Amino acid sequence: MIAQLDAIHQDAQAAIEDACDEAALEEFRIRFLGKKGALTQAASGMRDVSKEDKPAVGQKLNEVRQALTRFVEARSAQLLALKDAEAAKGIDVTLPGRRPQQAAFHPLTQVMHRGISALRQMGFTLAAGPEVETEFHCFDALNTPEDHPARNEKDTFYFADGHLLRTHTSSVQVRTMETTKPPVRIIAPGSAYRRDEIDSTHLSVFSQMEGLYVAEDVSLGDLKGTLERLFRAIFGPKTPVRFRPHFFPFTEPSFEIDIKLQPKGQDPRWIEIAGCGMVDPNVFRQICESRGDDVYDPDKVTGFAFGLGLERLAMIMWGIPDIRLLIENDQRFLRQFASA
Ligand code: PHE
């Protein structure tokens, strides 16, 4: 039996040389070490070995089994190394690694964060409303008459069922007052939609941030102070801010706000940046009617509202010459804001 085991050992030594891939190696393992393999079969011969010879034959059996197992292990490692080498062919492992790209907030998100953080410090909380709106929330409740140009089919995207894509975030003012008793002090950043031709200063989908503060005795002074503080937080503490009389259907009096900035390489100039005003009593009256109570009675509460375009804000802040850069998602453009 010793001779038989030696023969198996020798056969295996020759056969392992031919096991040149994983399938062949598995065949080898089954042929020699498997349940019905040569070694197992030889081992069953132990029954007939005499008592005196058993220890020696047993030892031999173990030695051959170990040797064969080592063949398989060594060959398997070799095949793996070969596979690795094949996979790494043509790769220079001494090259320096590639630096992972640093993530960054989009410039629009960055201005939004700045605005939100300044307003939060003044007690404003976030609010939101749907982008698919009713005519009521976008226009009627905001004292905007049927024949107002903003409601024109040329300016607003209407759905067949009469809904529309909100043309401004001011609809969130209405929704907030419908569901919340005064005092309210909210900011509502979000998308707005207009049928504008896309060019270097217009998009048909853009971002606004709305603000509303309603309580007893909110004054024009509060409006001025709040917005001056907001724009100085964003553009620097000495930025001149000016309020220019204007008209919006839902505020009275109304203003446009300009800030004086010096764009790179140009003379300082006033740049229009937001619309605002004291909430029109007609808006409050409509809210009372919708709510069926009088907590927004214009004799009891006053308030101010403002709205600003975030694209415009970003363009002014970084001197971005074309609004389309903000939606193209060109990495070469966006990467510049990674450390801001
Ligand atoms: N909704 C106005 C616009 O889109 C901005 C605005 C908001 C004006 C609130 C006054 C008060 O132009």
Neighbours of 149 (CB within 10 A): 9
CATH of the domain at 227: 3.30.930.10
pLDDT in tens, 267-301: 899 999 999 999 999 999 999 999 999 999 999 99
Residue 200 has pLDDT above 70, yes or no: yes
Distance between CA atoms of residues 207 and 193, nearest Å: 9
Closest atom of ligand 1 relative to the 274 alpha carbon = 5
Q: Which of 156, 165, 169, 170 to mutate to test the pocket of ligand 1 (most atoms within 8 A of CB)?
A: 170
For 65, 70, 133, 173, 285, the CA distances from 292, given in Å and listed in that order, are: 92, 88, 21, 17, 10
pLDDT in tens, 48-80: 888 998 899 999 999 999 998 999 999 999 999
**Residue 265: per-residue pLDDT:** 75
Q: What average pLDDT does the segment 25-39 reach?
A: 91
Task: Write the CB contacts of 267 (distance below 8 Å, at least 6 apart in sequence).
Answer: none
Q: Are residues 153 and 242 in the same domain?
A: yes
* Domain-embedded: residue 97: no
Which tokens is 36 given?
Answer: 């019905």
Closest atom of ligand 1 relative to the 304 alpha carbon = 11
Could you tell me the distance, in angstroms and rounded to a whole number, from the CA of residue 303 to the centre of ligand 1? Answer: 14
Interstrand relation of 184-193 and 125-126 (parallel, antiparallel or unpaired): parallel
Backbone angles phi, psi at 194, to 5 degrees: -145, 150
User: Atom 12 of ligand 1 has which residue's CA nearest to it?
Assistant: 275
Element (H, E) at 188: strand 184-193
Distance between CA atoms of residues 46 and 277, nearest Å: 103
Using 50, 70 and 90 to split pLDDT, how confident is the model at 46? confident
* Domain-embedded: residue 25: yes
Q: Are residues 146 and 249 in the same domain?
A: yes
Could you tell me the distance, in angstroms and rounded to a whole number, from the CA of residue 264 to the centre of ligand 1? Answer: 28
Q: What share of the chain has pLDDT > 90, as a percent?
A: 74
Q: Are residues 159 and 283 in the same domain?
A: yes
Q: Are residues 86 and 111 in the same domain?
A: no
Domain containing residue 305: 107-337
Closest atom of ligand 1 relative to the 173 alpha carbon = 9
Element (H, E) at 258: strand 251-261
Q: How many domains does the chain have?
A: 2
pLDDT in tens, 222-237: 999 999 999 999 999 9
Residue 175 has pLDDT above 90, yes or no: yes
The set of protein residues with a Cβ atom below 6 angstroms from ligand 1 is 168, 170, 248, 251, 275-277, 305-307
User: Atom 2 of ligand 1 has which residue's CA nearest to it?
Assistant: 307
Closest atom of ligand 1 relative to the 170 alpha carbon = 1
Q: Which of 133, 142, 143, 168 to mutate to test the pocket of ligand 1 (most atoms within 8 A of CB)?
A: 168
Residue 168 has pLDDT above 80, yes or no: yes
Q: Are residues 67 and 193 in the same domain?
A: no
Q: Are residues 291 and 220 in the same domain?
A: yes
